[in-house]
Every structure is written in structure tokens, then in C-alpha cells.
Amino acid sequence: MNNKLKITFLGGVGEIGKNMTAFEYNNEIIVVDAGLTFPGDDLPGIDVVIPDFTYLINNKDKIKAIILTHGHEDHIGALPFVLEQIKAPVYGSRLTLALVENKMKEHAKVSYKAVTVKPKNVLKIGHFAVEFIKVSHSIAGALALCISTPAGNVVHTGDFKIDFEPIDGAMTDLQRFGELGKKGVNLLMCESTNVCRPGYSMSEKSVGRALDEIFKTHTENRIFVATFASNIHRLQQILNLAEKYGRKVAFTGRSMINITDVGAKIGEITFNKNILVDIDKIDKVADKELLIVTTGSQGEPLSALTRMATGEFKQIKIGENDLIVFSSSPIPGNEKSVYNVINALFQRGADVIYDELSEVHASGHACQEEIKTIHSLVKPKFFIPVHGEYRHLKMHKQLAMNLGMEERNIILATLGTQIEMSQNSIKKVGTVTAGQRLIDGYGIGDMDSNVLRERKQLSEDGFCVVVMTINNISGDVVGEPFIITRGVVYQDEAESFVQDTKNMIVACLKEQDLRGCEPAVIKNTVRRNVSNFIYKRTKRRPMILTIVLLD
């Protein structure tokens, strides 16, 4: 028996999102998380991005379990695609699995076994023993893991914070982290999202107090609160305030409605259903008696709040008596979209409160002092920072060294890194295929896809279609070529541009003997000449399609 634990990083290192890690011992594999991330502007038309889990497919007979730390998309979003290829039971908290069930309805043909776990449960899987530890986060049901093997113990924090005033009354189990530290922990894998932020993260109850003050001082306004749908504890506080101040509640946004339904069914969120009002009937409720809870806190183009800001939401017209509260902060990269929506809401006469103006959002991720607390309690031999861009991982490494850990005992992993750990050693042993798979409608592609390159070319330089007819016997061009352009030239120069292009095509073909010539040869000749002509004229290289008809 090879008395070593192999850890393979398939997502969540060198990036924020699409978290996925495989732990392998003696031909048995457990997978922790299967998340997605959302595409940037460099991936036109792509819906979501998931890890490249080729390594898991190649080893699918070894996989004994998929364990989910919590129900955020960056930890469960790739699960339907994984379960299409790999049959393994899925373990998670009650809310996590309820959200998975909701997600899997869109993949009805995929069957899977789900097993609910609770804090302090210990799961025996072959040579693995997995203990679940309660942690606070911005979603209920978040769990840290202690993975025990003959090669040693690994503590994986998942996403966490230390909230001394948790909404559900159960705070991060620091006592258990301390007990594990006394027993001996070989490896700590700790999240790094907020490692650049000094101090402590704000308590969720502080957000509730700030929102209470807003409700108390805006008694005549129609109030909107935009927040993350998955933050059930935030939603609970918002619904409690609605009851306290006698307001009816309308939900907008599919994810908001779905998660509220799921949370209510399993008892993670409780409220008087008599306060709910359908969005189609809000015109019958006075402004001062109405609260609208909506998605769109990140400025997503098709979200409910963005459509309200642009005047495209049929049931709601934003006006001067409206107060919009962004109970969130912009995710890095979303700042421009969020502030565009805020500006548009102000222009419609609304008043807007966001995180720079009031404490209306608390992060679900630990800041420096909380991270130091976990390090000090767990006292690991070895350390690998996870869940962060490379700058976060690098800073987390420095934090650990400041706490006394030797640099040689810390490893910075990248996508595809494989690490072997024994009781007294840890080292990189190689890399595997890893990276991104692109979900596009019902298709799955990769970063080298021709489709993606063509989309980028179309978005940047447009396209030009040339249709011409050739007499196959004489080799003459019949009539003028027909040309269509989109996104190539501006309207005031389009007519002369098209005519000049036609003249150029006819002139270049007259110089060649086209009798009996293959259409493919003519197409290539025309495409090359048109491309060069357009580049000289515009300094752009549009996609060029040529169609040759033989007469």
C-alpha cells in the first residue's frame, strides 16, 4: 500500500470560483465541491464556466463520493455536468442538497444519490473518514471538513467567517478546530478570498441593524432591497423587518423566488406567508406598505433590478418615492455594471443606498484576524492556501509565515497541481489536465474552440459576405458580386465601400482563367483579396464568407 495521500487541484486555486479538489488514497477518490464561475467579456455567448474534470472521468471507477461544503454556485454549479459522467453519491447539508435538487430538475435524465449530513457527523468511506464541522458563511448549511487518512489529517475550511452573532445562533465551531489542532493536523487548506482585508468581517446582525434603521426612517417610501438570493440569513432579517414595519413583500427574480421556496420548505427560513403579495398585484398596495426584494445586486444585464433601472420591467416603474437598498457589495469585475445601475436608478428619481454609504452588507468570508485564528487553533504541519487568485494565495502564504510557519512547509498550488502528503512530508509530484470547460446552451466547449475565436472576431471586426456567379464554360463573372457587411464600415461610407469592393473583385477575377476552375479555389482567391482590400481600407480583419454559384 502506498501510504500517501494525493491531492489534485481542478479548480479554486489561482482563481475565485469553480472550486473542485480530489483527494486520493489507495485507489479511492473523494471529490470536494464541484463549482462553476461566470464568464467575462472575453467569452462571448458562454453561459457558465466549469472545471475541466478530465482527470475525474479518467478515474471515475475510483470515485467514492462527492462532498459539498455549501450551496453556492461556485461550489455546486458544475455538479449536473459531473454527474452526467460520474456516478457517485453526493453528501452535503440539508439546504445544500435542497439547492442541488432544485438545480438537477433542469437535468432530469441524470439520477444521483444524495445523503444529508450534519455538523459533527463522521462519514466513513473506504480509507477516508470525513468529519463535518459547523462554520458561518453567507449561506446556511456551510461546513468545514476534517479528512482523515492513514497518511494524516487534512482540515479544509471551505468558505467561512467567524460571526459572534450568527442569525441561526450556531457560530463557527472554534472549539472543534482547537481540539483537532491538539490531536495533530498534517495539512490545513484554508480559504483566501478576504485575506487582503485586515481585521474582522462584519457580523450579519450588524446588517440587520443598519436595515432596521433604514426601514424606521423611510416610513413613506416604497422600499426595494437587492441582495444575493442565496443569503438566506439576510432574507430572514429582511422578512422579519417587513413584518415589524407592516409591509407586504413581493419577490422578483427567478433565483430569489426559487431559493425562498426551497428555504421555507426545509425550515431554514420562516415567515408569515400572509405578508407575501404577487408582483402583478403590487399596484393595489400603498408605497409605504410595500417592500420589494429583488435580484440584480451585481448589475446583471437581464436581472429584475437592471430592467427596472432601464424602464423595461413591466410591473414596476421607478420613481421619486422609491428607496433602493443594495444589500451587497460589487464582486470584483462587476463594479462598472453595478454603478451603471445605481446611476440609472438615481436618474429615475429614486434614492439609492449602497455599501459605501451604509453598513448594508457583510461579507461571508473571513478577514485576516479570523484566518489567523484558524491557523492558531489548527496548528498544521503543512499549509496550502485555496479559494483565491494567485495574489490572495501569495498573501495568505505570507500571513502563515508571519505566524511562524516555515516557508518549505507551504505550497502554492495552481490548476492541475498534484501534491503527495505523508505523515511527515508534502511535495508537488506533477500536473494533470485542468482548466476551463465552457457551457454554451446545451454544448460543452474548451478555450481552444474555433467557435469562440470566431465569436471574438465577429464582435470586434464584423463580417462580410460575398456572393458571385461564374459562368463555368466561359469563366466570366455573371453580373456584379452581391456583398453584405455587418459591423465593418459606418453607414455614410458603406455605399462607396461596397461598390469599390465589387470593382476590386471583378478586376482580380478578370486576370485569371476561371474556365473549369473549382469553386473552392475561386472562394479562396476572393477571400484573400477581399481580406487584404478591407485591411488596407479600414485596418480591420472581418470574418469573410464567400459563396460561388456556377451558371
Three-state SS annotation for 329-357 = CCCCCCHHHHHHHHHHHHHCCCEEECCCC
- pLDDT given for residue 12 in this prediction: 94
Contact between 192 and 412 under an 8 Å Cβ cutoff? The reply is no
Q: Would you give per-residue pLDDT tens digits along the chain (551 residues)?
A: 568 999 999 999 999 889 999 999 999 999 999 999 877 666 656 678 899 999 999 999 999 999 999 999 999 999 999 999 999 999 999 999 999 998 898 777 788 999 999 999 999 999 999 999 999 999 999 999 999 999 999 999 999 999 998 888 889 999 999 999 999 999 999 999 999 999 999 999 999 999 999 999 999 999 999 998 888 899 999 999 999 999 999 999 888 888 888 888 888 889 888 999 999 999 999 999 999 999 888 888 888 999 999 999 989 999 999 999 999 887 766 788 899 999 999 999 999 999 877 788 889 999 999 999 999 999 999 999 999 999 999 999 999 999 999 999 999 999 999 999 999 999 999 999 998 888 776 566 665 567 777 777 777 888 899 998 888 777 777 888 899 888 888 888 888 888 989 888 888 888 777 776 778 888 888 899 899 998 898 888 898 999 888 87
Contact between 439 and 53 under an 8 Å Cβ cutoff? The reply is no
| C-alpha cell read off for 433 | 489536465
| C-alpha cell read off for 412 | 502554492
Contact between 168 and 160 under an 8 Å Cβ cutoff? The reply is no
From the CB of residue 508, how many other CB atoms can be counted at a distance below 10 Å? 15
| Strand-pair category, 63-67 with 48-51 | unpaired
CATH architecture classification, 204-353: 3-Layer(aba) Sandwich (3.40)
- pLDDT given for residue 448 in this prediction: 58
DSSP 542: -
125: β partners? 128
Q: Answer positive or negative: Cα dihedral of 455, 459, 460, 463.
A: positive
Provide CATH 3.60.15.10 ranges for the chain. Answer: 5-199+363-446
Coil, helix or strand at residue 393: helix
Q: What span, in angstroms and rounded, lies between the C-alpha atoms of 422 and 5?
A: 6
- For 467: left if phi > 0, alpha if psi spans -120 to 50, otherwise beta; the answer is beta
Query: What are φ and ψ of residue 330, in 5° steps?
Result: -65, 130
Provide CATH 3.10.20.580 ranges for the chain. Answer: 462-550
Distance of CA 489 to the CA centre of its chain: 36
Q: What span, in angstroms and rounded, lies between the C-alpha atoms of 11 and 75?
A: 10
467: β partners? 482, 547
| Strand-pair category, 90-92 with 122-125 | unpaired
Report the topology of domain 462-550. Ubiquitin-like (UB roll) (3.10.20)
Q: What span, in angstroms and rounded, lies between the C-alpha atoms of 152 and 382?
A: 11
Residue type, 439: I
- pLDDT given for residue 441 in this prediction: 62
Give ∠ CA 236-101-270 in degrees, rounded to 5: 20
Contacts of 259 (CB under 8 A, 6+ apart): 99, 229, 230, 232, 235
Query: Which CATH number describes the domain made up of 5-199+363-446?
Result: 3.60.15.10
Q: What span, in angstroms and rounded, lies between the C-alpha atoms of 434 and 40?
A: 19
- pLDDT given for residue 460 in this prediction: 81
| C-alpha cell read off for 368 | 485576516
186 vs 26, 175, 182, 379, 384, CA distance in Å? Answer: 18, 18, 11, 9, 11
- pLDDT given for residue 466 in this prediction: 92
Q: Answer positive or negative: Cα dihedral of 366, 369, 370, 375.
A: positive
Contact between 185 and 214 under an 8 Å Cβ cutoff? The reply is no
32 vs 23, 24, 146, CA distance in Å? Answer: 8, 11, 12
Contact between 237 and 337 under an 8 Å Cβ cutoff? The reply is no
Report which secondary-structure segment, H or E, holds 174.
helix 174-183
- pLDDT given for residue 208 in this prediction: 92
DSSP characters over 136-163: B-SSTT-EEEEEEETTEEEEE--S-B--
